[in-house]
């Protein structure tokens, strides 16, 4: 049999694939979809000697008659079933070791997941240096938002008209 460290990483892989795509999953039981994904991602299915149909048949064989999921023990039985089929040139024990090494330490792969792209139009629309009018007042020079002070009109109680160039110079003139 495989070493205890390898068995721990095999169980860890089982748990990661068991919870993949299901927010309510506990990691104790794996459904048929995730079993097929595990076999595909870990390259247990090769398209020639082990196909997706073989994977589904083995899943049906090891699960309970009315069950829709398999636990870790049934998972190991399923790997034992697939091992001689995948590695025909090896003995049953060697084949099981080899298939455990394929699965151990692997995680579900997100293939075909759409990444968010910033297209030219989005960059142009979110560039704060090009804002004008009242929107320009909502950001500082670095482009960081000012928060509430950028949205509300703050009353200037200095006594000067807004945008007066010589604001604050009266005291200097009177002291002369």
Model confidence at 22: pLDDT above 90: no
- Looking at the fold, whether 1 and 54 belong to one and the same domain comes out as yes
pLDDT of residue 116: 67
| CATH classification at residue 72 | 1.10.238.10
pLDDT of residue 56: 92
| Helices of type H across 1-51 | 4-19, 32-41
| Helices of type H across 20-157 | 32-41, 52-62, 72-86, 92-103, 120-126, 148-151
For residue 167, tell me if it sits in a domain. no
Model confidence at 130: pLDDT above 60: yes
pLDDT of residue 161: 74
Between 110 and 14, whose confidence is greater? 14
Average pLDDT of the chain?
81
Residue 122: CB atoms within 10 A of its CB come to 11
Confidence band of 43 (pLDDT split at 50, 70, 90): confident
pLDDT of residue 151: 66
Q: How far apart are CA 64 and CA 95, in angstroms?
A: 25
In this structure, are residues 145 and 155 in contact, taking their beta carbons and an 8 Å threshold? no
- Looking at the fold, whether 4 and 50 belong to one and the same domain comes out as yes
- Looking at the fold, whether 84 and 131 belong to one and the same domain comes out as no
Tokens of 79: 């790997």
CA angle 131, 143, 116 (to 5 degrees): 90
For residue 168, tell me if it sits in a domain. no
Q: Domain ends where: 112, 143, 161?
A: 112
In this structure, are residues 99 and 107 in contact, taking their beta carbons and an 8 Å threshold? no
Tokens of 15: 């748990």
- DSSP characters over 143-160: S-B-THHHHSPPP--SSS
Counting the structural domains of the chain, the total is: 2
Q: Which domain holds residue 134?
A: 113-151
- Looking at the fold, whether 26 and 46 belong to one and the same domain comes out as yes
């Amino acid at each position: 049999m495989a070493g205890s460290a390898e068995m721990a990483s095999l169980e860890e892989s089982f748990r990661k694939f068991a919870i993949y795509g299901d927010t309510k999953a506990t990691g104790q039981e794996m459904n048929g979809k995730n079993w097929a994904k595990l076999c595909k991602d870990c390259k247990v299915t090769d398209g020639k000697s082990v196909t997706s149909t073989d994977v589904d048949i083995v899943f049906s064989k090891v699960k309970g008659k009315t069950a829709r999921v398999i636990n870790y023990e049934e998972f190991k039985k399923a790997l034992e079933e697939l091992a001689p089929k995948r590695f025909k040139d090896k003995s049953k024990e060697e084949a099981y070791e080899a298939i455990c090494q394929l699965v151990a330490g692997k995680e579900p792969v997100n293939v075909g997941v759409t990444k968010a792209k910033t297209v030219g139009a989005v960059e142009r629309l979110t560039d704060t240096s090009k804002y004008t009018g009242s929107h320009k007042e909502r950001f500082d020079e670095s482009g960081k938002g000012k928060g509430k002070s950028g949205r509300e009109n703050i009353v200037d109680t200095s006594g000067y008209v807004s945008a007066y160039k010589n604001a604050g110079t009266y005291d200097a003139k009177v002291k002369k």
